[in-house]
Structure 1
Amino acid sequence: MPFYQKLGVLPPKRHTQFRQDNGELHHEQLFGTIGFVGMSSLLYHRQRPTQVVEVLGSEDVRPVAAVERNLLSRKLEGWAVKPGQDWLSSRVPTLFNQDCTVALVAPPKVAQDDIYKNADQDEVVFVHRGHGVLETMFGILEFREGDYLVIPRGVMHRFNWSTENNRALVVESASPVLTPKRYRNHFGQLLEHSPYCERDMRPPSALCDVSNEGKGPFKVRIKKE
């Protein structure tokens, strides 16, 4: 059972002419994480989402193991992490393997963070302290303490924190982040014994309009192996 969500004005049928107020066509984008056979969304843009002005350098952000072949018990002083310059530089990888990376974050409140896209992993962000707004290509989502934010791979987004002294935990997963099979029926609906249900899920509430920032170019930081 698909969790259908729509924002803004849409054409009555898919893959048809959908014009802007000035007569120009909207640019239709089919976004999915498992090709054409998985869950997908249709997005409509004023500008072509494929436009790339230039590609600027790269850096190695792979985590490095501090200790290998270790049997000692260790206590991790997780919330002692120090804030970085922005959301990405504040991430401190703590535990990792081939399938996932767990990072602790003390994100600062900044005037304007960079747009970010993790092209390889789904991300789950647990907000331990603080609140703000997550801007995505699907719309705007307000978040607060105790929220779990699920950001599928390939989604361009940026965090706007409204508070200082923020804390979050981030899990980057190479495997898709889905509801456990044992908690859903054949149609995808969550069962009665599931620890959470559709009522707990909050999709984006409004479109993300960046027209007040001009037509670009916009800097997008991409993580890609």
Structure 2
Amino acid sequence: MAYYRRVGNVPPKRHTQHRTDDGGLYYEELMGEEGFSSDSSLLYHREIPSAIVDSQVWEPPDTTTTPNHPLKPRHLKLHDLFDARGAADTDVVTGRRLVLGNGDVRISYVVAGKDSPLYRNALGDEVVYVESGAATVETVFGALEAGAGDYVIIPTSTTHRWLPHGGEPLRAYAIEANSHIAPPKRYLSRYGQLLEHAPYCERDLHGPDEPLLAEGTDVEVYVKHHAGGRIVGTRMVYPTHPFDVVGWDGCLYPYRFSIHDFEPITGRVHQPPPVHQVFEGHNFVVCNFVPRKVDYHPLAIPVPYYHSNVDSDEVMFYCGGDYSARKGSGIDQGSISVHPGGYSHGPQPGAYERSIGVQSVDELAVMVDTFRPLELGEGGLACEDPGYAWTWSGRGPGQ
């Protein structure tokens, strides 16, 4: 995201000598996208950032998937995946359970109470939505504080860790891309500024404010990457702590964005889902559904019309409020609905009629639309409600 920030101690001119108080040199690192041709930042380290003393295999959480075949809509009950009492022994990185995925994006869920190891995703950017709880996210750029309703956007290969706090488990919904994730292009000027019609602006994006300096020797970093055509992990050991950056500047860094700062776009008649979009990656988008006034045409039907996503799978994570279009389906907070391409979907029976005359909705949901079919991860298979597909008709196979 092309929004310049400068934090800590940097030299007046890039790629020039930056000396310590005792006359030594800081080590400049360029972290950039698309081979020096897109957004980047320059970080100034106390020690050589490339130095490692060991590299061993790490087995990341299970990434195997099962096709959605035979094709049908799914209801996944994420709160059934974790016993909250066991959260004290689970962390946000190694405890993730894959719910859905394809070659472009993976969606996982975790309930965690333990500090994560240092972690770096070399496959793509991550967007982690905090459903509840709170955490400090320490990164090589500095620290971020995240709480309920916050997205934490972490660029590819950013070394970081999650430190839950506050007395309750951290419930986190992780969207991992095989690409970069950014605001929708239609909301950006040709130079990258968020435009007046965008539903949020740069004031709503909160990056690190100061460097985070840590000491340590033989420090482990868990790295997720590709090898042999599959997702694998490596545990690298650094002689000194990676959090040794005294300053940085540029347009690439982690940041926090609250779903509550998203300003909904409404209209006289029902608006299509792209008005809810907040981020996009390669072959997928992320959308917010937030409390808002609804359609005000005198003959409006405020709930969504029935629709066929002929080019995409639609995944809705229900994380707060009262989602009126799904009443009677069994969906509640912590649920995911999966409505695949090739299937026409829409409100539950009775919702169409009940919505007439409604002036506002109180709902909170995160939607991911993908442009290639999603498959079910082991977590998705473990928490499926088998009766959801038949809730529109009222009867299932053989009835």
- State TM-score, norm by structure 2: 0.53
**Counterpart residue identity of residue 29, structure 2:** Q
Q: What corresponds to 2:130 in structure 1?
A: 127
**1:7-86 paired onto structure 2 within 5 Å:** 7-59=7-59, 61=61, 63-66=63-66, 68-82=68-82, 83=87, 85-86=90-91
Asked whether the 8 Å contact 2:3–2:193 carries over to 1, the reply is no
Say whether 1:218 aligns with 2:219.
yes
Instruction: Render the CA deviation track for 1:62-118: whole Å, top value 9, x for unaligned.
Output: 5222454232333211122224532222201101111000111112133xx311000
Q: How many Å separate the matches in 2 of 1:130 and 1:109?
A: 12
Q: What corresponds to 2:375 in structure 1?
A: none
**Counterpart residue identity of residue 160, structure 2:** H
SS state of the match for residue 203, structure 2? helix
Say whether 1:162 aligns with 2:152.
no
**Counterpart residue identity of residue 146, structure 1:** G
SS state of the match for residue 70, structure 2? coil
Asked whether the 8 Å contact 1:92–1:104 carries over to 2, the reply is yes
Asked whether the 8 Å contact 1:79–1:104 carries over to 2, the reply is no
Q: 1:11: Cα distance to partner?
A: 0.9
Q: 1:199: Cα distance to partner?
A: 1.4
Q: What corresponds to 1:98 in structure 2?
A: 103
Asked whether the 8 Å contact 2:60–2:94 carries over to 1, the reply is no
Instruction: Specify every segment of 5 or more residues in structure 1 that has no aligned partner in the other structure, as ranges.
Output: none
The structure with the greater share of residues assigned to strand is 2
Asked whether the 8 Å contact 2:135–2:170 carries over to 1, the reply is no
**Counterpart residue identity of residue 30, structure 1:** L
Deviates more, 1:127-136 or 1:53-62: 53-62
**Counterpart residue identity of residue 147, structure 1:** D
Runs of 4+ in 1 over 4 A off after TM superposition: none
Instruction: Render the CA deviation track for 1:101-149: whole Å, top value 9, x for unaligned.
Output: 0111112133xx3110000111000011011211111111111111111
Q: What corresponds to 1:145 in structure 2?
A: 148
SS state of the match for residue 131, structure 2? strand
Higher-Rg structure is 2
Q: How many Å separate the matches in 1 of 2:64 and 2:134?
A: 30
Q: 1:61: Cα distance to partner?
A: 4.3
Q: What corresponds to 1:115 in structure 2?
A: 118
Q: How many Å separate the matches in 1 of 2:34 and 2:173?
A: 26
Q: What corresponds to 2:190 in structure 1?
A: 186
Q: How many Å separate the matches in 1 of 2:68 and 2:157?
A: 32
SS state of the match for residue 7, structure 2? coil
Which structure has the higher relative contact order (CA within 8 Å, separation 6+)? Answer: 2
Provide the aligned length of Structure 1 versus Structure 2: 220
Asked whether the 8 Å contact 1:105–1:169 carries over to 2, the reply is yes
Q: What corresponds to 1:206 in structure 2?
A: 210
Asked whether the 8 Å contact 1:117–1:220 carries over to 2, the reply is yes
Q: Percent identity?
A: 39
Q: 1:175: Cα distance to partner?
A: 2.3
